[in-house]
Amino acid sequence: MQINYLHSKSIYSKVVSNKGEGALEIMAVYPQQRFLPAGYFAYDASEDIVNYDPLKIRNNAGKLALLHEISHALLGHFHYRFDFELYAMEMDAWNMTRSLAIKHAVGVQESYINECMDSYDVWLTKRGTCPRCSQFNLQSKPNEFRCYRCLTRWKVSQDIQSSIRRVVIK
Ligand SMILES: [Zn+2]
Ligand SMILES: [Zn+2]
């Protein structure tokens, strides 16, 4: 499947037509970064593309989310092997988001940041919970867990976008 990535210029016109107040100016500050309008906010590290929601960037939370993904890109976040690394990268990205928000005069909503970190907590907790006995476990290998109580082993997806699937290893 061929994917046509939109480069800055075509996206700018889209943002303007959507009256994305302020978001245009933010993206213009990062001319090296590719932005792709999508239904969500995410940094695609393999392609070095910031995906954003063209409707939500109109509001403050959307701009904050955009700055968050830009932070991942600026910090050069790439692969993580363990869940705690992902969690640490999220914390780093939010710290940078806070300083970028000041730079771009975007309001920092700590409640929004907390919500995002909480959703990671939920995600990480579900991944680490044994599908057999519900014991919470720390990760033993990248994308793999082993229950210290019942010895069940299960694999999880690395993709944060994908739903949590725990596949028991026989
Ligand atoms: Zn993030
Ligand atoms: Zn177990």
Q: What is the pLDDT of residues 98-136, one digit of tens each?
A: 999 999 999 998 998 998 888 888 888 999 999 999 999
Instruction: Name the more confident of 39 and 80.
Output: 39
Structure tokens at 12: 């700018």
Q: How far is the CA of 24 from the centre of ligand 1 (A)?
A: 21
Structure tokens at 115: 């919500």
Enumerate the domain spans of the chain.
8-128, 129-170
Smallest-distance ligand from the CA of 51:
1
Q: How far is the CA of 150 from the centre of ligand 1 (A)?
A: 33
CA distances for 13 relative to 3, 54, 62, 70, 112, angstroms: 20, 11, 18, 20, 28
Tens-place pLDDT, residues 63-93: 999 999 999 999 998 877 788 888 899 999 9
Instruction: Name the more confident of 152 and 5.
Output: 152
Collapsing DSSP to helix, strand or coil, 55 comes out as: coil
Nearest one of 30, 124, 134, 137 to 83, comparing CA atoms = 124
Q: Answer yes or no: are the C-beta atoms of 8 and 29 closer than 8 Å.
A: no
Q: How far is the CA of 141 from the centre of ligand 2 (A)?
A: 16
